[in-house]
Structure 1
């Protein structure tokens, strides 16, 4: 019995972490829904600015030099800046694409991010994928081709923006992994909002238009709230459970995106998007499975 005394507490923590992860995914789905709705009346860069400025204000209430002394101090400030700009680029490309694509289409392509991470982690971090993982990556990219159907007129050319954004997000994820060894997550979160806001601030006169009525203002505020709150839930979730437990629940976002796309925009993805998304998700889940197998010591009991 003593050997299992902590198991119920571990199980409870993991259930809470999974709930937090699902909450984060819902926040990100609502963020993209708000952004897509706003693209009908304003420049996507204005929406990106609203997302980062709102997030920066909210995050500063939680993490600031007074409540968290030293939160702005980074051991890798240049890497923090590069990481933040990669996230900014991914967000901007995604918001531009949302003007023309369905919610489910963009998220299905973005699900390929773990595949890109697994592919480039070898030359960058020395984490070389084996033949099974390489096969899964190849199958996953085939799924992206099924979704986008390049040259067949199946999807708007804006899909290429999501593909590039997926690459940006993959390098953002890798840099986040590196920074975790040097800076606390609160510092990284603060840098994300500040860098995005500062980078776009000089460009405001080029794209700003005053929203007409209170609803666009509320939607702009919502992008910041959903973005900041979603990332905060992610931090809390990863404090309670390992990434290999939480990662599969990221794919639940496709359910929210399909539902919100239908409710808000009366849009449903075609069968090719469903087929391609299923291929990409299956490949991502297999990569997670291989990652867990790689880190389980030989002969050890697997309790999860």
Structure 2
């Protein structure tokens, strides 16, 4: 290594380089400002996540939601084992916050079960649009659980987001069904998992968090799936494996994207998943979202963008000395 003219500068030891890939569920800590690359990665992730959701919608016509979720988590766990290896995988189970890791895992698997269950009732574009209220729910939960302060603009945006959900669901109309609240509950579980992620991020590595997510979900679903097990055919097994592969890859791409750009810049791009789901659903299922779905999705997206900007202002605001 060449040494510049600042010879008097004290050399401090650098952190140990990562020996395993960056986590597939959380942003890596090393940040490089390359927003173009981050945006491209998010756009690519929407194709994988949309394909996973549409495949789950297709499979929900023949298999129970619990079984589809089990296939997804089984594939997720196999990918984790392949990525980290048995030895490293065992090391990542050493958590400083095992209780919170368990709660986070429960929130994630609950979200998966509820969202996949909603696909048997709602068009996939509707369920996807509603699920994007999770950042709004995180804002509400961060006040009692994390002690964070939320400004009036953020609260106004949160209420606007809920209005967008009502536009999609249209309560009181013939299109509304009681089961349509399932994606709302799925978003609530996901929001709880995100809040737990904030709490454990300072104590555990991203690999530890991912390992707990995979194992907790697989154990829970393995205990529940015998209650509804339906012998799958070869095509159904392959579809279930594809769901797990596509969802894991999509989340990994999102994690990589956050290495290159801030959340406030990437959050609006993530709403491209609604458009991606609509295109894939049309190509595979022949489903076309109605105008209410697009209108509600636009309102939800706008509210989330406002909240992301407000969050960025809050974190960048200088503290009083």
TM-score, with normalisation over the residues of structure 1? 0.89
Deviation track 1:108-138 (CA, whole Å, cap 9, x = no partner) reads 1111111111122111111121111111111
Deviation at 1:140, TM superposition (A): 1.1
Deviates further, 243-252 or 53-62: 243-252
1:200-219 → structure 2 map (5 Å cutoff): 200-212=221-233, 214-219=234-239
Deviates further, 13-22 or 182-191: 13-22
Q: Which runs of 5+ in 2 are unaligned?
A: 1-30
Q: Is the contact made by 2:263 and 2:308 (CA closer than 8 Å) also made in structure 1?
A: no
2:259 maps to what in 1? 239
Deviates further, 115-124 or 68-77: 68-77
Deviation track 1:152-193 (CA, whole Å, cap 9, x = no partner) reads 222332211111111111111111111111111111111111
Q: Which runs of 5+ in 1 are unaligned?
A: 1-8, 299-304
Q: Is the contact made by 2:41 and 2:256 (CA closer than 8 Å) also made in structure 1?
A: yes
> In structure 2, what is the Cα distance between the partners aligned to 1:72 and 1:49?
21
Deviation track 1:45-103 (CA, whole Å, cap 9, x = no partner) reads 11000000110001111123534672221111111111111111111011111012111
1:252 equivalenced with 2:267 (yes/no): no
1:14 maps to what in 2? 35
SS at match of 1:114: helix
1:83 maps to what in 2? 104
Q: Is the contact made by 1:46 and 1:207 (CA closer than 8 Å) also made in structure 2?
A: yes
Q: How many residues align?
A: 288
> In structure 1, what is the Cα distance between the partners aligned to 2:314 and 2:226?
51
1:22-101 → structure 2 map (5 Å cutoff): 22-67=43-88, 70-101=91-122
1:129 equivalenced with 2:129 (yes/no): no
1:281 to 301, 304, 307: 301
Deviation track 1:186-236 (CA, whole Å, cap 9, x = no partner) reads 111111111111112123322222223x32121011011112222222322
SS at match of 1:155: coil
TM-score, with normalisation over the residues of structure 2? 0.85
1:196 maps to what in 2? 217
> In structure 2, what is the Cα distance between the partners aligned to 1:132 and 1:204?
44
> In structure 1, what is the Cα distance between the partners aligned to 2:47 and 2:148?
31
Q: Is the contact made by 1:59 and 1:228 (CA closer than 8 Å) also made in structure 2?
A: no
Deviation at 1:10, TM superposition (A): 4.8
Aligned CA-pair RMSD: 1.8
Deviation at 1:294, TM superposition (A): 2.3
Q: Which has the higher helix share?
A: 1
2:249 maps to what in 1? 229
> In structure 2, what is the Cα distance between the partners aligned to 1:206 and 1:108?
30
1:172 equivalenced with 2:193 (yes/no): yes
